[in-house]
Structure 1
Amino acid sequence: MTERAIRIGIQLNPQHADYADIRRAVVEAEELGVDLVFNWDHFFPLSGDKDGKHFECWTMLGAWAEATSRVELGALVTANSYRNPDLVADMARTVDHISGGRLVLGMGAGFKEREYVEYGYDFGTPGSRLAELADAMPRIGRRLARLNPAPTRKIPMILGGGGEKKTLRIVARHADIWNTFAEGETFVRKSRILDEHCAAIGRDPAEIERSVLVGGDPMDSGEALRAAGVTLFILGADGPAYDLTELRQWLKWRDAHNRVSQNDKRNVGGPV
């Protein structure tokens, strides 16, 4: 498989901001050259004032699809418990069409108890939520295959988490991208375990792009993560200011690294 280029994403957390602030940040991130923009699927802020301003995920993604023209977009990640899986598939297909084929479908098991309680969902246990996610993934696939019109492309799936016995088994079976907070030796171990889960079902682990949430100076962590197999680096930004200074640094690092990789391929006669 051809070596993957480095990609940079930004998660614009839809908290403590008016929608106009969020929209400006999405447009600015696209103009700067980011590869992917994400929001998250929560009902309340995760930091700062826990009762502060906050907006819903999927209606926002439809608006982002109209406000942008190039970047891929999605939720990092959709909480499976909050919507019927067949409905999620239909929503994803619709945003896929609105965006002209730029949606990435992020899925996760959910974890914020307050959201479950206040919105009337059964919180269950970590095990029951993971079991529901495992059951939902094939339902989403079946519904996507039946929709008319069909999606514009095979919608990429991004799954988050690092549970080695259950979560990574779901990732191995269904994900195109695996996203994690893990770094260093922890990331290396979990990535190896993901490879083992892939081998158990006969899947090439190289089909799954590795993604990590990062921050700070890319020279402090980027090279080590890249050497460990990460190719998608995702930063975060909070409202209302949505400071994209770090994003600019990571984009420069991406461009320099990808330019060197392209030159190396030319020098050895490889594909570019």
Structure 2
Amino acid sequence: MKNRAGRLSTGQGGNKLVAGLIAALIALTVLLVVVLFIINKDSQNDQQYIANTAEMRVLSQEIAKNATEAAGGTAEAFDQLRRSRDEFQQLWTSVTEGNPETGLPASELAQQSGVQQHWNSVRENADSILSTREAVLGLHEVARTLNETIPQLQVEYDDIVQILLDNGAPAEQISLAQRQSLLAERIVRSVNNVLSGDEDAVIAADRFGRDASLFGRVLEGQLNGNPAMGISRVADEDAIYGLEAVDELFEFVSQNVDAILEASPDLFKVRTAASDIF
């Protein structure tokens, strides 16, 4: 009887041990599943972080390229710069602050990386470029028209010089017509220097304004005379016809002098911002 009770006690003890082991195995399995889930989730997050940062790397290159092209007067570059800026900001926010829609948590590593400081500078410069869109594009359009107009104006003056030479006009009239042609060339060169947007752009803008004003006064003197400037009125009818053609061509220049002078500081700001971004 005692042996039977002992065997029963031993059996019950063995059953409890087995049950305990099974319970421990189940708990371990559940824990392993939880750990694997966490690891898998962390791995998915890491993959998303990597995908976002890879896309931001591409966007950062696009921002630099678009900023430079926008400063050069390319209209499409402004739209592309705005898009790149907004997409970069969206991705950077999802990395540093998390994305509730996808369950992506905020990355402390990204927050401590120092990228935010650089991005603040880039974003401010991009905003600066975008704010001057109309002024920059307008200035480049005026410059393109000037580059087409000035050579025509010089051709007219070359013809006027030849007419004055052939008809024995006073030497000062011939010399003045030749100087006007050279002054026209300097005007268009100053405008192109303004477009460069470097530190000499402000000086070039001032020189353009003074040269354009002088050109206009001399042209008016050739047509109507200007004793104060020592300019006698041109009497030759063929030469007058040429001067009237010059006056018509120069009207576009004179109408846009103020626009160029007002836009040149914006262009300098844009060029500086694009350089800082790059």
In terms of Rg, which structure is larger?
2
Pairwise same-fold verdict (TM > 0.5)? no
- Per the normalisation by structure 1, the TM-score is 0.19
**TM-score with structure 2 length normalisation?**
0.19
